[in-house]
């Protein structure tokens, strides 16, 4: 069933937008035999956008699944460890100074990197790996970044504020580095699926994992960096898109999939499909005006998750 969501969401994303296309038109445009408007729109605009949304959703959902295993906390999401806060401060500061897209991207990457180093340095100090200190450090850093973001928003003027809000709510209009993002998603997804048995064991408790042969400290550090790389890559693609990393792994679990060897690929595929759907709606609803995709991830995700929760109970 999950496999069906991938072609359906991709098809939906390719067909809809300012210029609606039928499935037949999409098919011929994909084959690229004609040099008409449909082919140009599909290859130049829609396909890159849909692929960016899919990979970004996959990155966020996979990051959420890994962080929930690392922190053994169902409320963990890709932004809990302050990475997005650091990236947002970097991006918004660059925007405030009137920087271009490339500088903004670099600045957000630097902010995320500083946050990663700070959280890891303080959370895993002296080789003593305390997961609660890591979590608390991330939450405290996020709060600090939240204050700085508010300050930057207050200092910004007119059109700058709009750009900043789009970044904060997620926007896939200016996605760059798509091949690298696909490489990260495939490499981390494959490794995580291969090591999924260890994730199952780790979820059962740290002492339990140690007595079952998991080198806990190394696994924790590896999971943290894998999740950080996934999150930073997603942030570079689409800004701070919320809800996907938290909701998708939970939705998969509520559908009865719990073993990580299924949870990891299922979350990745469903996360990708879900963000394609949300992004397509963000492009369609007030077309030609495009809304931040983060609005639709929450609007679509909240009722679905609540329905799954009530069905489960």
Partner 1 sequence: MQAFLEARKLTVAIGGKLICRELDMMIRPGECWGVLGQNGVGKTTFLRTLAGLHTPQAGMVSWNGVALAAHARRSLAQNIGVLLQNEGGEFWGSVQEYVLLGRFPHRTALFGCNVQDEALVPQALAQMELEGLAHQPYNTLSGGERQRAAIAQALAQQAQCYLLDEPLQHLDLRHQAQTMQVFSQLKEQGCALMVVLHDTLWVQRCCDHVLLLFADGHALHGAAHELLTRAHLEALYQCPLRELFVEGERWFVAGV
- Contact between 210 and partner 1 (CB under 8 A)? yes
- d(Cα 113, Cα 186) in Å, to the nearest integer? 22
Closest separation in Å from C-beta 275 to partner 1: 24
- Letters for 42-81 (x = contact with partner 1 by CB under 8 A, - = none) are ------------------------------x---------
- d(Cα 137, Cα 98) in Å, to the nearest integer? 31
Contact 90/107 with Cβ under 8 angstroms? yes
Stretch that binds partner 1, among 49-57, 109-117, 202-210, 294-302 (CB under 8 A): 202-210
CA atoms within 13 A on the CB side of 267: 35
| Burial grade of 119 (CB within 10 A; 0-12, 13-18, 19 or more) | buried
- Contact between 201 and partner 1 (CB under 8 A)? yes
Closest separation in Å from C-beta 214 to partner 1: 7
Cβ closer to partner 1: 104 or 220?
220
Closest separation in Å from C-beta 122 to partner 1: 23
- Which of residues 205, 285, 302, 304 is near partner 1 by CB under 8 A? 205
Contact 80/67 with Cβ under 8 angstroms? yes
Cβ closer to partner 1: 162 or 312?
312
Stretch that binds partner 1, among 40-48, 104-112, 131-139, 213-221 (CB under 8 A): 213-221
Specify the residue for token string 């605009």: 45
Give the 3-state secondary structure of residue 241: coil
- Contact between 285 and partner 1 (CB under 8 A)? no
- Residues that bind partner 1 (rule: CB under 8 A) add up to a total of 25
Give the 3-state secondary structure of residue 249: helix
- Which of residues 165, 212, 300, 305 is near partner 1 by CB under 8 A? 212
- Which of residues 30, 114, 139, 203 is near partner 1 by CB under 8 A? 203
Tell me the CA distances in angstroms from 97 to 150, 163, 165, 228, 281, one per residue in order. Answer: 16, 13, 16, 27, 32
Tell me the CA distances in angstroms from 57 to 24, 141, 167, 252, 275, one per residue in order. Answer: 27, 24, 16, 14, 5
Buried b (16+ CB within 10 A) or exposed e, 134-157: bbebbeebbebbeebbeebeeebe
Contact 308/251 with Cβ under 8 angstroms? yes
Cβ closer to partner 1: 216 or 228?
216
Stretch that binds partner 1, among 34-42, 86-94, 209-217, 233-241 (CB under 8 A): 209-217
Stretch that binds partner 1, among 38-46, 133-141, 176-184, 190-198 (CB under 8 A): 190-198
- Contact between 215 and partner 1 (CB under 8 A)? yes
Contacts of 159-163 spanning 24+ positions with Cβ under 8 A: 160/95, 160/96, 163/95
User: According to CB under 8 A, which residues from 238 to 267 bind partner 1?
Assistant: 253, 258-259, 261
Closest separation in Å from C-beta 259 to partner 1: 6
Stretch that binds partner 1, among 26-34, 138-146, 173-181, 192-200 (CB under 8 A): 192-200
């Amino acid at each position: 069933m999950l496999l069906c969501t991938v072609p359906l969401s991709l098809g939906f994303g390719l067909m809809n937008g300012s210029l609606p296309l039928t499935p037949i038109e999409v098919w011929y445009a994909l084959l690229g035999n004609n040099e008409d408007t449909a082919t140009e729109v599909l290859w130049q605009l829609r396909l890159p956008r849909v692929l960016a949304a899919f990979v970004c959703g996959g990155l966020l959902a996979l990051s959420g699944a890994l962080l929930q295993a690392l922190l053994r906390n169902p409320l963990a999401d890709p932004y809990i460890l302050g990475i997005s806060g650091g990236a947002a401060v970097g991006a918004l500061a660059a925007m405030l100074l009137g920087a271009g897209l490339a500088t903004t991207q670099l600045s957000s990457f630097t902010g995320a990197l500083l946050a990663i180093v700070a959280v890891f340095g303080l959370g895993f100090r002296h080789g003593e790996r305390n997961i609660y200190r890591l979590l608390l450090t991330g939450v405290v850093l996020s709060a600090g970044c939240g204050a700085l973001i508010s300050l930057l928003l207050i200092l910004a003027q007119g059109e700058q504020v709009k750009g900043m809000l789009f970044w904060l709510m997620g926007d896939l209009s200016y996605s760059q580095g798509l091949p690298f993002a696909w490489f990260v998603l495939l490499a981390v997804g494959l490794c995580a699926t291969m090591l999924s048995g260890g994730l199952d064991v780790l979820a059962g408790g740290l002492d339990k994992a140690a007595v079952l042969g998991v080198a806990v400290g190394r696994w924790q550090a590896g999971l943290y960096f894998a999740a950080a790389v996934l999150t930073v890559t997603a942030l570079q693609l689409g800004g701070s898109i919320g809800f996907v990393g938290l909701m998708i792994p939970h939705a998969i679990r509520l559908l009865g999939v719990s073993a990580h060897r299924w949870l990891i690929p299922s979350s990745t595929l469903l996360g990708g499909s879900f963000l394609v759907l949300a992004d397509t709606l963000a492009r369609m609803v007030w077309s030609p005006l495009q809304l931040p995709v983060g609005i639709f991830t929450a609007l679509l995700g909240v009722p679905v998750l609540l329905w799954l929760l009530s069905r489960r109970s």
